[in-house]
A and B are shown apart, each in its own frame.
Chain A
Amino acid sequence: MLDGSFSTVGVIAIVLMFISLVILLGPIFARGFGAFVFKGTVEYRKLMLDKFGRGDRERIIAEVAGAAKTREPVYELMEQFRVELKEKDYDYRSRYGQPFKELEELVEDLFGPAPGSSMPVLVRGQYGQTRWDRANVKLGNILFIEEYDYSDSSKMGELVLVPRADLFAGTSLEPLFRLLESDIEKMMRPRTTVYWRFLFDGSYDSHFFGGIWPELLGTFYLAIGAMLFAVPLGVITAIYLAEYAGDSRFVSLLRTCISSLAGVPSIVFGLFGLAFFINAIHVSPSKSVLAGSFTLALLVLPTVIRASEEAIKAVPRSYKEGAMSLGAGKWRTVVTVILPAALPGILTSIIISLGRAAGETAPIIFTAAVSVGKPLALWETMSQPTPALPWNIYNLATEHEAVDEIRHVQYGMVVTLIVLVLLLNITAIVLRARISKKLRG
């Protein structure tokens, strides 16, 4: 009876966990997918040609020209109204001047700079909307004004969409809105685009355009760098604790320290990294991949030590006795028999730590991460900071000046990080299974 209900509770817990995982990951994956596959507009193809030299030059130029032609009536209508505005009296000007200026900005937002106007400095101003979903949002902004209805004082203001065309009713500009609405596809030419290079492109204008390669590379540098320090140190410590240390009071104190180190909040590691590696011993003049790797190494060290120690202790005593009875010294026994037999466990701890190091944000805030940067060459990691996925996810979602414009990049980064960590964990499982099988014969 009790057994039955206990396993029922267990199954329910697992099912709940699975469901919440699906609920959590489903939308993230769906939206992150949008960074890789989306409807790109003619502006996107123009940007790719200009900035990355991709695509068929002739065809894109022709397409851009074609799109420009369909946009001409829009600009003509606006030019006509501009002239009209100048000729009319003060009342007319004060009534339509400001709304028209607003409209001009919105159109520029949608299509990029108007023909004949000067080129903006920022890359984001030089192109119209590259993504069809964003173009539709911008079009919505042109067609409708968001207003709030406060007439019922007992409720919160209610959002009301007022057609902008009403504002310009009776003027020569009125047809513009219908024109935009009906011809937007011709003007933007959306086409399904697969942008797998999102992973390997640098970004333009702080992630307005381009990909996440600097972040991805930075994450690799930091995680691999952390393991370069953590693994030798951790495994050697584990060997010492399991095989040499014995059971003195000092050793049990050491073990307690290692365990408590595993429970220290990661932000504390970050502050320690800044205070020790950068301010005290100056491994680099300022934030750098090196300092970040050291800090992350400290963070994962307890995990590596504990898991490796367990793996070493789980090696049957008879292996050790067999090796020693053949005349092998202690160190040789460790290297030739114990470590190979403990390898699956050690490897698992290493790969899981690798995933942890790749995903940690707090330790690198103070020691390694910057929000925008170029992909680093290997030797630059000694002295240069790098962008990295976890930090940039946070940064783009909270501190970017146009959070709403680059949602797809944020989700793309999140998905990339999740998949990266997932892949590492799967590798761990497969590797472990294969080595255990090899050991078992």
Chain B
Amino acid sequence: MNNDIGELRKPEIRGPDRSPDRTGSIITAKDFSVYYWKKAAVSEVSFDIPARQVTAIIGPSGCGKSTFLRAINRMNDLIPGCTTSGLLSLGGQDLYSSKVDVVSLRKMVGMVFQKPNPFPKSIFDNVAYGPRIHGARDRGALSNIVRRSLERAALWDEVKGRLSDNALGLSGGQQQRLCIARAIAVEPKILLMDEPASALDPQSTSRIEDLIGELRREYTIVIVTHNMQQAARVSDMTAFFYEGDLIEFGETTQIFTNPTEKRTEDYITGRFG
């Protein structure tokens, strides 16, 4: 385990995977802005997030990275006074056009939050929640989905004997993996992670990071993080946000070893933020 972390610490081990099915962008932002009551939290960012890779968004507090992340599955809709301009598209479809069905969008784009937020229900019901609202009723099929999701979230072995226990009885790290299992149970294409390990202890954090490494084979992952080592360890691409602007976007190796922008370098080397 410790060796793994040691290896993961080296940014070099993560580079963009250029195998054929991993190329091409899935999310495209073009002059995309998000406003809270006219104040821009994200202003005119343009970049492409590649499919089936891990893209990290880094930046100091209040830089708009979480706002951008939550724009992708339109969670910002819940916040009064939040509006957008420009284009944010998913697989070529404008996310903010009136034709978009938010329910099916969120089925396609799962989300894991900063603080583990399992529902006060059983472990089984937590994972089955998504499939159920999308129409799964058959108990056998649900059991399969729950098992597969928990396995993929590397939680199955720890909870298989007590699926009917309350999820709030799990440890913080287990709860967060449960939330990941809950998100992937609806078979999303994209997983958004909003500082998924910031509320966890180092060991749980490394398990979550391992899990991200596993999941990148199947999902496009966008992760917001405060922790630059984490971004370096887990991501293929990195975007650096500062005060609502996208300063630099590129391969993680390049951003961390040879940033083109002075501000990126300053932030990464810890001169501010």
Contacts and interface: CB of A to CB of B under 8 A. Distances in A.
B244 interface: no
Contacts of B111: 325
Given A326-B110, A327-B104, A318 B165 contact: no
B100 interface: no
A327 B134 CA distance: 8
A321 B113 contact: yes
B183 A325 contact: yes
Nearest to B117: A318
A328 to B, nearest CB: 5
A82 B146 CA distance: 98
Given A327-B134, A340-B120, A441-B120, A322 B167 contact: no
Contacts of A321: 75, 78, 113, 117
Given A321-B113, A337-B119, A326 B166 contact: no
**Max chain B C-beta neighbours (<10 A), residue from A320, A323, A441:** A441
Given A246-B80, A441-B166, A441-B168, A326 B117 contact: no
A86 interface: no
A326 B169 contact: no
Contacts of B107: 326-327
Given A319-B119, A336-B129, A340-B121, A326 B167 contact: no
Interface residues of A, number: 23
A175 interface: no
A77 interface: no
Interface string A333-346: 00011001100000
**Max chain B C-beta neighbours (<10 A), residue from A322, A323, A340:** A322
Interface of B: 73, 75, 78, 80, 102-107, 110-111, 113, 115, 117-121, 129-130, 133-134, 165-170, 179, 182-183, 186
Contacts of A320: 78
A337 B117 CA distance: 12
A327 B168 CA distance: 22
Contacts of A438: 120, 166
30 contacts: A316-B117, A318-B115, A319-B119, A320-B78, A322-B113, A322-B118, A322-B119, A323-B119, A323-B129, A325-B73, A325-B75, A325-B110, A325-B183, A326-B110, A326-B133, A326-B186, A327-B103, A327-B104, A327-B107, A327-B186, A328-B103, A328-B129, A332-B133, A336-B129, A337-B119, A341-B119, A341-B120, A438-B120, A438-B166, A441-B166
A341 B120 CA distance: 7
Contact of B183 (A316, A326, A336, A341): A326
Nearest to A341: B120
A329 interface: yes
A322 B107 CA distance: 12
A327 B106 contact: yes
Nearest to B109: A325
A336 B121 CA distance: 10
Given A438-B166, A441-B165, A327 B120 contact: no
Nearest to B130: A326
Given A246-B80, A336-B129, A336-B133, A326 B115 contact: no
A155 interface: no
Contacts of A326: 106-107, 110, 129-130, 133, 182-183, 186
A426 interface: no
A318 B182 CA distance: 14
Contacts of A318: 113, 115, 117
A440 interface: yes
Given A321-B113, A327-B103, A336-B129, A440 B119 contact: no
A97 to B, nearest CB: 85
B133 A322 contact: no
Interface in A306-332: 316, 318-329, 332
Interface in A426-441: 438-441
Interface string A234-247: 00000000000010
A440 B120 CA distance: 7
A117 B115 CA distance: 88
A151 B136 CA distance: 96
B222 to A, nearest CB: 13
Nearest to B116: A318
Nearest to A337: B119
Contacts of A336: 129, 133
**Max chain B C-beta neighbours (<10 A), residue from A246, A325, A328, A440:** A325
Contacts of B130: 326-327
A340 B126 CA distance: 13
A343 B32 CA distance: 41
B77 to A, nearest CB: 9
B106 A439 contact: no
Given A326-B186, A439-B168, A441-B169, 9 more contacts: A246-B80, A321-B78, A321-B113, A323-B129, A324-B78, A326-B130, A326-B183, A328-B103, A332-B133
A328 B131 CA distance: 10
Contact of A329 (B103, B166, B182): B103
**Max chain A C-beta neighbours (<10 A), residue from B105, B106, B179:** B106
A324 B75 contact: yes
A441 B167 contact: yes
Contacts of B121: 340
Contacts of A316: 117
Contact of B133 (A328, A340, A440, A441): A328
**Max chain B C-beta neighbours (<10 A), residue from A246, A326, A336, A441:** A326
Given A325-B75, A327-B107, A319 B117 contact: yes
**Max chain A C-beta neighbours (<10 A), residue from B105, B117, B168, B170:** B117
